[in-house]
Structure 1
Amino acid sequence: MADPSFEEIAAALYAGSPEAFVASRKDRASEVDDAELASRILALRKPSIAAWVVNVFAQERAGQLGEALRLAAELREAQDELDAPALAKLGRERRALTRRLAETAAELAGSRGERVTPATREAVERSISAAFFDSLAASAVASGRLLWALEPTASTADIRDAVAGDVASLEPAPQRPPDELQERRARREAERRLAVAEKDQATAERELAKQDVELQALRDRAAELAEKAEELEAELARIHAAASHVERDMPEVQERRATAAERVGAAEEAVELARKALDAL
């Protein structure tokens, strides 16, 4: 069995207990026969707590981190082909994924008895974010040999300085076959078109519901007015019937009035004759 490389030894030390790092480094150096290798091991710097959290996560959850970094590589390749809304959506998803990975890393560190402060967790999140934006930073994070946290704006020199050992020797993320990439692009475009169509459908359905409400309100008002019209028509019919009765009874009443008027005239003449007779006495 081949002896472990310097990078393998460094990765093991950087995932061990931070409190025991100095003692572990000394013990590990004493175990190797190569004086130069032992000297390099003794020269290893103790990682920051944020770097240690990332290193533990990279080694304990290598599969989860690797899948996230492969997705990030595909997004970097595809971003030139996407429109602004799609890029904004991917940006939100990337930030959410970064937070979830940082939370998982902090929980993993907590399970080892290490207290992770909010500042440390933010540094862990920035390191993972740097890995999403830069392929070299992704290799550095995946190495499990960070000395300190990375920044998303870190230069190539900054990234190399932040890693113990040779970061360039790390295996690059496997590339998907061109036909599969093309298929994924076509699927993303189909998903984008579906999202646009679904959005248009939702807008049309909201407008239809609005028009249904307005139409029902008009139908209710029409029914109310029709009922009112029936009531008015019935009232008008009653008025017409009453008017007909009045017109029918009017000649008879007029005739009785004429008779009564004649009687009044005759009575007036009788009163006048009686008054004259009285005056003559």
Structure 2
Amino acid sequence: MADPTFEEIAAALYAGPPDAFVSSRKARADSVDDRELATRIRALRKPSVAAWVVNVFAQERAVPLGEALQLAAELREAQDDLDAPALAKLGRERRALTRRLADMAAELAGSRGERITPATRDAVEGSISAAFFAPAAASAVASGRLVRAIEASASNDDIRDAVAGEIPELEPAPQRPPDELQARRLRRDAERQLASAEKEHKAAERELATHDAALQELQTRATELAANVAELEAQLAKTRAEAERVGEELPQAKERRTEAAREADAAAGAVTRAQKALDKL
């Protein structure tokens, strides 16, 4: 097995407990036979707490950090082709991702018993943010050998000074064929058209649902009114039949009443005559 390189030794020391850095550095230097390597190890500067947090995160969470940095590289290439609203959206998403990564790094460091102050957490976020803007900063953060935090405005010289050992170059993004930019534009336009069509479709479905509800309400009301009409028509037919029957019986009732009136008059005359006869006695 090959002996560890200076960069590998530095990465191991920079991810170890901050309080034990000096003693660990001495012990590691004393353990190597190469005098030049031992001298370089002893010359390693103790990392700041923020740098240590980034180093631990870079080594313990290399996969999510690597994916984020690769995405950042692709976004840097694509942003020249974006309009103002898209750039603003990209900026918001980049800041949100930076905050999430910084929170993950702070939680990881906290799980190791280190107290992370707000200032330290901001410095961690600043270093990750710098990695999103410059390839050299991305390489520095991914190395896991930061000595101090870096800023987005840091020059290449500042970045080199902030890293122990050589800064590895990130694997370059694959060269895209000349027509891929046009393909990306066409895809983005198609995605926008799809989003617009989906939005209009949802609006049309909401409008249709509104009309369906109104139609259902009218149909229910029409059914109720038809039932009322049928009931009223039945009642009207019954009333007409009753009126016809009464109309047919009315002449007979009038005749009977007239006959009864004659009989009543005759009876009254008889009473009057009988009274007069009685009065004469």
Given the two structures, how large is their TM-score scaled by the length of structure 1? 0.76
Query: Partner letter of residue 176 of structure 2?
Result: P
Given the two structures, how large is their TM-score scaled by the length of structure 2? 0.76
Instruction: Return the offset for 1:212.
Output: 1.7
The percent of aligned pairs where both chains have the same amino acid is: 60
Match of 1:215 in 2: 215
CA distance in 2, matches of 1:160, 1:3: 24
**8 Å contact kept, 2:102–2:121:** yes
Match of 1:191 in 2: 191
| Structure 1 stretch displaced more, 131-140 or 63-72 | 131-140
| Per-residue deviation, residues 128-170 of structure 1 (Å, max 9, x unmatched) | 233224444323312322223345x544389538713578x54
Alpha carbons of 1:3 and 1:9: their partners in 2 closer, same or farther (altered >3 Å)? Answer: closer
1:164 matched to 2:166? The reply is no
5 Å-filtered alignment, 1:84-95, equals 86=86, 90=90, 93-95=93-95
| Per-residue deviation, residues 217-269 of structure 1 (Å, max 9, x unmatched) | 21111111111111111111111111111111111101111111222232333
Alpha carbons of 1:220 and 1:242: their partners in 2 closer, same or farther (altered >3 Å)? Answer: same
**8 Å contact kept, 1:70–1:173:** no
CA distance in 1, matches of 2:192, 2:153: 33
**8 Å contact kept, 2:44–2:164:** no
Stretches of structure 2 that go unaligned for 5 or more consecutive residues are none
Instruction: Return the offset for 1:85.
Output: 6.2
1:241 matched to 2:241? The reply is yes
**8 Å contact kept, 1:65–1:142:** yes
**CA-atom RMSD in angstroms:** 3.7
Query: Partner letter of residue 65 of structure 2?
Result: L
Alpha carbons of 1:230 and 1:100: their partners in 2 closer, same or farther (altered >3 Å)? Answer: same
CA distance in 1, matches of 2:35, 2:165: 21
| Per-residue deviation, residues 7-51 of structure 1 (Å, max 9, x unmatched) | 56544432333233213334555655349x93x654433112331
CA distance in 2, matches of 1:265, 1:20: 141
| Per-residue deviation, residues 102-146 of structure 1 (Å, max 9, x unmatched) | 4554565467x4435474555434432332244443233123222
Query: Partner letter of residue 163 of structure 2?
Result: A
Q: Per the alignment, in what secondary structure is the counterpart of residue 138 of structure 1?
A: helix
CA distance in 2, matches of 1:114, 1:162: 28
Instruction: Return the offset for 1:277.
Output: 4.1
**8 Å contact kept, 1:146–1:162:** no
Alpha carbons of 1:47 and 1:186: their partners in 2 closer, same or farther (altered >3 Å)? Answer: farther
CA distance in 1, matches of 2:225, 2:161: 82
Stretches of structure 1 that go unaligned for 5 or more consecutive residues are none
5 Å-filtered alignment, 1:100-249, equals 100-102=100-102, 104-106=104-106, 109=109, 113-115=112-114, 117=116, 119=118, 120-121=120-121, 123-151=123-151, 154-156=153-155, 160=159, 163-165=162-164, 170-179=168-177, 180=180, 182-249=182-249
| Structure 1 stretch displaced more, 55-64 or 215-224 | 55-64
Q: Per the alignment, in what secondary structure is the counterpart of residue 69 of structure 2?
A: helix
1:252 matched to 2:264? The reply is no
| Structure 1 stretch displaced more, 249-258 or 197-206 | 197-206
CA distance in 2, matches of 1:173, 1:99: 25
1:33 matched to 2:35? The reply is yes
Alpha carbons of 1:222 and 1:133: their partners in 2 closer, same or farther (altered >3 Å)? Answer: farther
CA distance in 1, matches of 2:172, 2:194: 30
Query: Partner letter of residue 232 of structure 1?
Result: L
Q: Name the count of aligned residue pairs.
A: 275
CA distance in 2, matches of 1:82, 1:242: 86
